[in-house]
């Protein structure tokens, strides 16, 4: 066993003896600095750096902070957004959000200690702070494409998002049309069709799709109902099928070192099924123009937010301003908490969604609009996933002639149909 292998199992089993010594040696500042120096090389070297830095910046304070967050979330048990989405009264929503924020404020001191410890650890390996260290792990090709994606995708869809959000605010009769953080969870379906469709159950749908594709790894979707439940279950299905195949075909090491963009791509690919008419039918949802438009608006916002993650503002104010620009609305309470306390490199989200858009077009061209019901499409996905470990998403797209990882596939995949905003 190598130190890298020991790190891979570290999360599941706190290794002891020689294995623990190898882990401790691998996480010493000099060893981490050496890994970072190699991170500009092969796909494997960059994957190793992501894994090592994640463990290096972790520690007892990180564990204490996550435990405190779980405790502070009570009585919502980490589901305050769900509670806000179910609340019709805007004043009551603000009361719930304020109570949630007050509970979270109780561990701001602990969060400050955690951040100070992470920053000091980053300085020991030559980075100014933990944020700068994490940013060093970003995919340089994703950074190089950021400006083009802003020009070709984000700016051209600014007005679409703003119009959709304002139309929702008017229907909800929000004061002055302002959407507050507490209102955001109810906007998951910008045109609300969910009450008409609550009887739609996700579990039979995801089981059928996995069976049709002859792929293993169906997630538990017994509690998922209605349009949002179905779409969330489809995303979970994509991630689960991908992870299950990779682990069974290539082992746990391959799964741990895989580019995180591929997992996001798998989830985005299946979640995006409901953004097409054939996908609505396959997901057991009605062919409803307003529902389809709502799903595509939400997909548009999610992808714009992915571009926003790549910008990685350092201040809370900067993150909130970018959230309003990309989503036409602020962060929800849980999104804001995550943005403040769980910073990441910020490149995988956009790369994954762009790769998913290219892959979706290839699947539809080769296997038809209902590709998700074809066993040969499942075979294609297995072959693709098996090859991911050795390639970046951009190199994979080039090798398979899927298209260019730029704004064009995002515009095609995400832009809603016109004339359905009112």
> Which CATH code, of 1.10.150, 1.10.3470, 1.10.1370, 2.30.130, is assigned to 141-414?
1.10.1370
- Does residue 15 register a pLDDT over 80? no
Q: Which phi and psi angles does 159 have, rounded to 5°?
A: -65, -35
Q: pLDDT tens, 166-181?
A: 888 888 888 777 899 9
Average pLDDT of span 363-367: 96
- Does residue 195 register a pLDDT over 60? no
Split at pLDDT 50, 70, 90, the class of 209 is very high
Split at pLDDT 50, 70, 90, the class of 13 is low
Neighbours of 160 (CB within 10 A): 20
- Choose between 190 and 351: higher pLDDT: 351
Spatial CB neighbours of 339, under 8 Å, sequence gap ≥ 6: 319, 323, 331
For 242-260, the three-class secondary structure string (H helix, E strand, C coil) is HHHHHHHHHCHHHHHHCCH
Spatial CB neighbours of 186, under 8 Å, sequence gap ≥ 6: 84, 85, 87, 93, 172
Predicted model pTM = 0.89
Q: pLDDT tens, 224-233?
A: 887 888 889 9
Q: pLDDT tens, 95-128?
A: 999 988 888 787 788 888 888 999 999 999 999 9
Report pLDDT for 366.
Answer: 96
Spatial CB neighbours of 216, under 8 Å, sequence gap ≥ 6: 210, 241, 244, 245, 248
Q: pLDDT tens, 116-168?
A: 999 999 999 999 999 889 888 888 888 888 999 999 999 999 999 999 898 88
Instruction: Of 22-31, 333-342, 348-357, give the range with the top mean pLDDT.
Output: 348-357
- Give me the percent of the chain exceeding a pLDDT of 70: 93
For the chain, the structural domain boundaries read 3-137, 141-414
């Amino acid at each position: 066993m190598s130190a890298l292998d020991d790190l891979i199992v570290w999360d599941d089993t706190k290794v002891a003896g020689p294995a623990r010594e190898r882990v401790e040696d691998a996480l010493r500042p000099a060893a981490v600095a050496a890994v970072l120096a190699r991170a500009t090389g092969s796909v494997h070297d960059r994957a190793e750096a992501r894994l090592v830095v994640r463990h290096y910046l972790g520690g007892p304070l990180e564990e204490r902070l996550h435990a405190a967050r779980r405790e502070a979330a009570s009585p919502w048990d980490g589901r305050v957004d769900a509670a806000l989405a179910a609340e019709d009264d805007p004043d009551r929503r603000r009361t719930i959000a304020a109570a949630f924020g007050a509970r979270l404020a109780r561990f701001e001191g602990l969060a400050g200690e955690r951040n100070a410890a992470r920053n000091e650890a980053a300085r020991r390996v030559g980075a100014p702070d933990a944020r700068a260290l994490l940013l060093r792990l970003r995919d340089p090709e994703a950074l190089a494409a950021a400006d083009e994606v802003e020009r070709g995708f984000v700016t051209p869809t600014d007005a679409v998002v703003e119009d959709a959000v304002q139309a929702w605010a008017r229907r909800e009769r929000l004061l002055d049309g302002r959407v507050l953080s507490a209102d955001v969870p109810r906007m998951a379906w910008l045109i609300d069709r969910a009450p008409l469709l609550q009887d739609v159950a996700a579990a039979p749908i995801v089981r059928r799709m996995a069976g049709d594709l002859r792929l293993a790894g169906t997630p538990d979707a017994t509690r998922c109902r209605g349009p949002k439940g179905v779409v969330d279950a489809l995303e979970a299905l994509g991630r689960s099928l991908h992870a299950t195949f990779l682990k069974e075909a290539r082992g746990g090491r391959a799964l741990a070192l895989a580019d995180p963009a591929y997992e996001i791509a798998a989830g985005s690919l299946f979640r995006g099924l409901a953004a097409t008419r054939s996908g609505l039918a396959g997901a057991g949802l009605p062919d409803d123009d307003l529902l389809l438009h709502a799903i595509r608006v939400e997909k548009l916002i999610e992808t714009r937010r992915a571009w926003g993650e790549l910008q990685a503002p350092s201040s809370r104010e900067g993150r909130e301003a970018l959230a309003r620009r990309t989503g036409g609305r602020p962060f929800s309470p849980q999104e804001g908490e995550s943005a403040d306390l769980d910073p990441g490199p910020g490149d995988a989200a956009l790369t994954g969604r762009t790769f998913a858009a290219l892959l979706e077009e290839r699947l539809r061209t080769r296997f038809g609009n209902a590709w998700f019901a074809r066993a040969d499409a499942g075979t294609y996905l297995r072959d693709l996933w098996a090859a991911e470990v050795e390639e970046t998403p951009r190199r994979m797209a080039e090798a398979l002639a899927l298209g260019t990882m730029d704004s064009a596939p995002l515009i095609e995949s995400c832009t809603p149909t016109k004339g359905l905003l009112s």
